Amino acid sequence: MTVSLKSLIAALCLSAAAAAQTTSPAATPLSLPAGNAANAGAPVPPPPTVGAKQYVLVDYQTGRVLAEQGGDERVPPASITKVMTSYVVAAERKAGKIKDSDPVTISENAWRHGGAVTDGSTSFLELNSQVLLGDLLKGMIIQSGNDASIAIAEHVAGSESTFAALMNQYADKIGLKNSHFVNAHGLFDPEHYMSAHDIAELSRALIRDFPEEYAHYALKDYTWNAHTQRNRNILLWRDPSVDGIKTGHLSQAGYCLAASAKRGDTRLIAVVMNTAGEKVRADEAHALLNYGFRFFETHKVYEAMASVSEVTLWHGDAAKAKLGVAQPALVTLPRGSYQRLAATMNVQKPLSAPLNKGQVVGTFKLALDGQTVYEAPLVALEDYAEGGFFKRMSDSVWLWFDNGE
């Protein structure tokens, strides 16, 4: 029986494909860009002892937890709730559903349950008055006004309960795992809770997604209706690198604080819950921030879409394909430990054309002392078309011999 050349090529291609399906990618070690070797091997002490019953210290860029105690325990968040409220407002504004210039009527509900007639934090809003949404937001963030929070919730969603449902939807979208909201202000309810770690993750999302909204949290005071009130985050006065975030206090929650600071290219977030007083919460959050900046550093190992490696490309119009990561490869490490960082990649085999730019072809990992500290999809950095007829034929033959064991 005569076998045509085209049939032989097809058979070889099928054989190569079948062999490839049983070939699992092996980890390939990579060389990393040179890092700072200063203080190599310097020890990292345990975090400072703080009186907060729950706390976390988180690196903003990577989300890595640098220190924690009870970070996933569900506790009353008090007025730190308002960070979630402002996130929802920023998201709804971006979607075009509301504007800062919207006039908001101060309802009896907002006035009676959050206004000056209560003993809670208030923006001193007058019953049935109209206030621009942008002004209400500043009153809520800087003055921690409960009346402003209720008025905002009613304007955005029609009622507090509907707004709370919206808060929970956004919490799910952000990925908060130990949070549930029943109001926009944080007054106590047994079904209203967050964890310190969720507060840190929410803070990361606010800073990342809505930096213009986050800028309000650095303002030290705000005047409304002849009342000037100071931001209760005293770290804004103590440390110029601190630019947020929010305080909270309830008898059931103690004194709480979520604080963020940026020094150089590194931003950290400290959350302390259930402390004994205003000064204590500031001292403890500040101690955690100072510890993080002193003993840890964030490295950008690779820029987004920078070449991590070049690997053999089969059936393509190029001999090799450039691979990288779609987002910057950032990793937070103890200072001086970069030289102990090891990189590996797992690439699907065989890597065959065509490939599209951004197509996932494997996994890139960074490990410190054997522990994975970063993992991301490995992607093609360019488009790679199929090669010509003879290139495809030649590669199919070589693949058949290479895999046909």
301, 307 Cβ separation under 8 angstroms: no
**Apex CA 165: angle with CA 160 and CA 171, to 5°?**
125
For residues 371, 177, 146, 230, the Cα torsion angle rounded to the nearest 10 degrees is 0
CB atoms within 10 A of CB 69: 16
Nearest alpha-carbon partner for 355 in 376, 380, 320? 380
What φ, ψ does residue 52 adopt, rounded to 5°? -65, 135
- Whether omega before 350 lies within 30 degrees of 0, making that bond cis, reads yes
Which one from 79, 86, 123, 352 is the annotated catalytic residue? 79
Containing H/E element for 14? helix 5-21
CB atoms within 10 A of CB 357: 12
Distances (CA, A) of 231 to 131, 219, 244, 247: 20, 7, 10, 9
In the residue annotation, 357 being an active-site residue is answered as no
Nearest alpha-carbon partner for 209 in 174, 165, 242, 185? 174
CB atoms within 10 A of CB 297: 22
3-class secondary-structure state, position 71: coil
How long is the chain?
405
Which one from 82, 138, 322, 349 is the annotated catalytic residue? 82
Q: How far apart are CA 303 and CA 299, in angstroms?
A: 11
In the residue annotation, 144 being an active-site residue is answered as yes
Q: H helices of 81-130, where?
A: 81-94, 108-114
In the residue annotation, 79 being an active-site residue is answered as yes
Residues 6+ apart with CB under 8 A from 222: 138, 139, 142, 143, 228, 229, 231
Which one from 86, 121, 123, 144 is the annotated catalytic residue? 144
**Residues designated catalytic:** 79, 82, 144
